[in-house]
Amino acid sequence: MRRFRRWRRKYSYFLFLLPALILIVFLTVYPLVRVFYLSFYRYNPIRRVERFAGFANYLRLFSDRFFLTGLKNTFLFSVGATVTEVLLGLGLALLFNVKFRGRKLLLPLVIFPMMFSTMVICAIWRSMYHYDYGIFNYALRSLGFEPVKWLINKDLALWSVVLVDIWQWTPMAFLILLAGLQSIPGELYEAARVDGATGARLFRHVTLPLLRNHIFLALLLRSIDTFKIFDKVYALTGGGPGTATETISFYIYRQGFTYFNMGRASAAAVVMFLAVSAVSLLYIRQVWRGEK
Amino acid sequence: MRKVALLLVFLLGIAVLALPKEKLVIAGRDGGYGAALQIAVDIFMERNPDVEIELLKLPYKGLYEKLVIDLSAGGGAYDIVMLDDPWATEFMSLGWLQSLEELGYTPDPDFVPTALSVCRYPYPDGELYSLPHVGNVELFAYRKDLFDKYGLASPPKTWADVLEAAAVISANEPGVHGVVFRGRKGNPIVTGFLPILWGFGADIVEEGKVVLNSREAVAALKFFLLLKQYAPEGVEIWNSSEVKEALLAGDAAIAIEVWPAWVPDLDNHDKSKVVGKVEIAPAPGLVEKSSPMLGAWLLGISSASRHKELALKFLEFVTSAEIQKVLTLQAGHAPTRVSVLTDPEVVAKYRWFPSQLAALESAVPRPRVLVWSEIEGILGEYLQLALIGELSPEKALAEAAERIAEVVGE
């Protein structure tokens, strides 16, 4: 009896965690294991093909022009969008950390872009980017400049998509960093000022170190989100022109749900999973190191 | 005893009264297709009050995904399914559709033979699994007024004539693009390119072998790139809405690919600046005769349906000459029956129907293979790489052929 009570005291909290654990097992662990398993098979549920294929799916990926370009574009997109968003977000956060008139009114305006559906945003941007009738080229033409092939030029199209992401998600980086700034106690600045620090030095030696974890959090969240970029590509360019805006998610979607090549789609998903995990680990280690 | 008998009669009465209407579920398309089918559904329910029909209106990709998932599992969620003709081989060969001849149906010789042939498996004269509902066929549109102005032969007979006309009009008519087409990768660019490929005497798959890497195919692709010189900026990402806009605004002299569904707008004063100036013709030929692409929509009965007789009754009804005429006049439906395509009342409203019938009769269906959607995807990607100049035509087709062979070889 006493042993049972001790056992219960020790392990009963598992019981409370059980519902969450079951959910995680079914919705995260099982699919993950299944994707790993399928990535070694030639598996097409529609044509009823299922046979072991070893590393064939992986080998095929790394000789596939579309996958390789997708990988490259995804990295460019993720790095380009994340860095710009966090830098702009930091600038905005510093601005809004100063008390000024109308701040309460302006704040909702700044976070506005986050509140729209991506599909709606893309439809609007698509019309603004239109070569003949879009507002950007209209403005350029009336100022006497050459119109720009926003979504048509294969060297520019990816960056046009990045721009939409920056417009939509800078507010999120901004909110995280603003919260970070407002959690820095004012006394620290006073103490630093007493010691003779001003302006840039104050920022460099007080603000930045204390904001460090928030910056890493913003970088982590934005890079994970941009790494799986799909909706904007789907709505703005369809992955074109050529392979200019091909991304890994888009590749997985096509292989999986247009061709039903589940094996190859799974292999691509595994590669993506490993890449995201590596990036996350890097950030998380940075944060932990900062805490020590 | 009497009590029991009375009770039985009473219960039977309730059962009869509560007998549910027989219900059919149709998985169909959205947009104009859905609107047309809805008219037929409404008339059918009016004439058969004991039948209830639910028509699901789905977008193209959504319809395909839903059908594949339900039919492959034998779920029986849909009784009647609407399918694009390139899906037909997959659906029919895997036993997903009910043979109509088994249900005692014999097809009417009034159907245009090319449209009926894709309803059969094996193509073109096997068992009948579906009926041709929408007689879509790729048409060719050109500005008769501009062709006359520059003394160009109309309608252009060969693709060489088309190139010449595009060049002349581009050079002389300010603000008008010589030619427009859908260059967006995937289905759009493939659809635009196929009549040229076929016209040059090439093909993608012949008797189960990939023949895309041929001299004729390379010539066709090079020709496509020549045409592109006279197309507007950004044609690489154009889809049907852009082609349609350009035609309606009078900014395009030639559209190598238009579809029956949007031709009526060309003569609509509210939408078109070129009323009466655009002529419709079958696609030109070159080495081969004119080879427009068939894009028929078929109606079939799910093997798992529990209302097959009723479903067949509806299928016969919706493809009958009477209803096709109603749908054509009211909703701009593309009929599949010769008698409707030549009906004087119908031709009076749609002046290009003789051309449409000619195109339908010489139409070529896309390859009858299981894996068409993947072939189309691969070809669409490589065609676009050639179109934007990232790969040479030779290399693009060679690589595409290699990839397609992998898929077909399985």
Owning domain of residue B80: 20-136+295-361
Q: How many CB atoms lie within 10 A of CB B27?
A: 23
Q: Is A152 in Cβ contact with B234 (below 8 Å)?
A: yes
**Structural domain contains residue A43:** no
Averaged pLDDT for residues B304-315: 95
CATH assignment at residue A121:
1.10.3720.10
Angle, nearest 10°, between helix axes A103-110 and A65-97? 170
Domain match, B238 and B281 both? yes
Q: Which among A66, A243, A259 has the least Cβ separation from residue B374? A: A259
Q: Which residues of B touch A (CB under 8 A)?
A: 61, 65, 68, 72, 90, 184-186, 232-234, 236-237, 370-371, 373-374, 377, 381, 384-385, 387-388, 390, 399, 410
Domain match, B378 and B318 both? no
Q: What is the pLDDT of residue B100?
A: 95
Pairwise CA distance, residues A213 & A219, whole Å:
10
Q: Is residue A243 pLDDT above 90, yes or no?
A: no
Q: Is residue B313 pLDDT above 70, yes or no?
A: yes
Picking from B404, B398, B382, B371, the residue whose alpha carbon sits closest to that of residue B190 is B382
**Structural domain contains residue A258:** yes
Q: Is residue A287 pLDDT above 80, yes or no?
A: no
Q: What is the pLDDT of residue B9?
A: 66
Owning domain of residue A276: 60-291
- Strand locations in A139-197 (E): none
Q: Which among B185, B373, B399 has the least Cβ separation from residue A240? A: B185
Sign of CA dihedral B116, B118, B121, B124: positive
Give tens-digit pLDDT for A245-275: 999 999 999 899 888 889 999 999 999 999 9
**Structural domain contains residue A26:** no
Picking from B89, B136, B48, the residue whose alpha carbon sits closest to that of residue B372 is B89
Give tens-digit pLDDT for B81-108: 999 999 999 899 989 999 999 999 998 9
**Structural domain contains residue B3:** no
**Structural domain contains residue B5:** no
Cβ neighbours of B233 in A, within 8 Å? 131-132, 149, 152
Q: In sequence order, what are the beta bridge partners of B25?
A: B54
Give tens-digit pLDDT for A99-123: 888 888 888 888 899 999 999 999 9
Place of tokens 């997109």: A77
Half-sphere exposure of A206 (CA within 13 A, CB side): 21
**Structural domain contains residue A205:** yes
Which one of A41, A43, A44, A47 would you mutate to disrupt binding with B, by most B Cβ within 10 Å of its Cβ? A47
Question: Within chain A, how many helices (H) and strands (E) appear?
Answer: 14, 2
**Structural domain contains residue A123:** yes
User: Does residue B276 come out as left (phi exceeding 0), alpha (psi in the -120 to 50 range) or beta?
Assistant: left
Domain match, B143 and B227 both? yes
Q: What is the pLDDT of residue B136?
A: 92
Q: What is the pLDDT of residue B10?
A: 66
Domain match, B273 and B151 both? yes
Q: Which amino acid is residue A275, in one-letter code? A: A
Cβ neighbours of B184 in A, within 8 Å? 238, 240
Helix (H) or strand (E) holding B278: strand B278-281
Domain match, B265 and B391 both? yes
Cβ neighbours of B384 in A, within 8 Å? 240-242
Q: At B106, is the secondary structure helix, strand, or coil?
A: coil
Q: What is the DSSP string of A20-72?
A: HHHHHIIIIIHHHHHHHHHTTEEEETTTTEEEE-TTHHHHHHTT-HHHHHHHH
Domain match, B249 and B393 both? yes
Pairwise CA distance, residues A52 & A263, whole Å:
10
- Based on the structure, what is the number of domains in chain B? 2
Domain match, B68 and B175 both? no
**Structural domain contains residue B50:** yes
Pairwise CA distance, residues A212 & A215, whole Å:
5
Picking from A47, A53, A33, A50, the residue whose alpha carbon sits closest to that of residue A270 is A33
Q: Which amino acid is residue A197, in one-letter code? A: A
Domain match, B279 and B326 both? no
**Structural domain contains residue B235:** yes
Q: Which among B65, B236, B370 has the least Cβ separation from residue A152? A: B236
Picking from A23, A51, A25, A24, the residue whose alpha carbon sits closest to that of residue A38 is A51
Domain match, B378 and B399 both? yes
Pairwise CA distance, residues B256 & B182, whole Å:
9
Q: At B29, is the secondary structure helix, strand, or coil?
A: strand
- Write phi, then psi, for B386 (nearest 5 degrees): -70, -40
Q: What is the pTM of this model?
A: 0.81
**Structural domain contains residue B13:** no
Domain match, B147 and B286 both? yes
Cβ neighbours of A254 in B, within 8 Å? 377
Pairwise CA distance, residues A111 & A171, whole Å:
5
Domain match, B31 and B98 both? yes
Q: A213: distance to nearest CA of chain B, Å?
A: 42
Pairwise CA distance, residues B368 & B296, whole Å:
13
CATH assignment at residue B304:
3.40.190.10
Q: Which residues of B265-284 are buried (b: 16+ CB within 10 A; e: fewer)?
A: ebbeeeebebeebbbbbbbb
- Based on the structure, what is the number of domains in chain A? 1
Q: In sequence order, what are the beta bridge partners of A24?
A: none
Give the residue from chain B lying closest to A147, CA to CA: B233
- Write phi, then psi, for B242 (nearest 5 degrees): -70, -40
Instruction: Give percent of chain B with pLDDT exceeding 70.
Output: 95
**Structural domain contains residue A194:** yes
Q: How many CB atoms lie within 10 A of CB B73?
A: 11
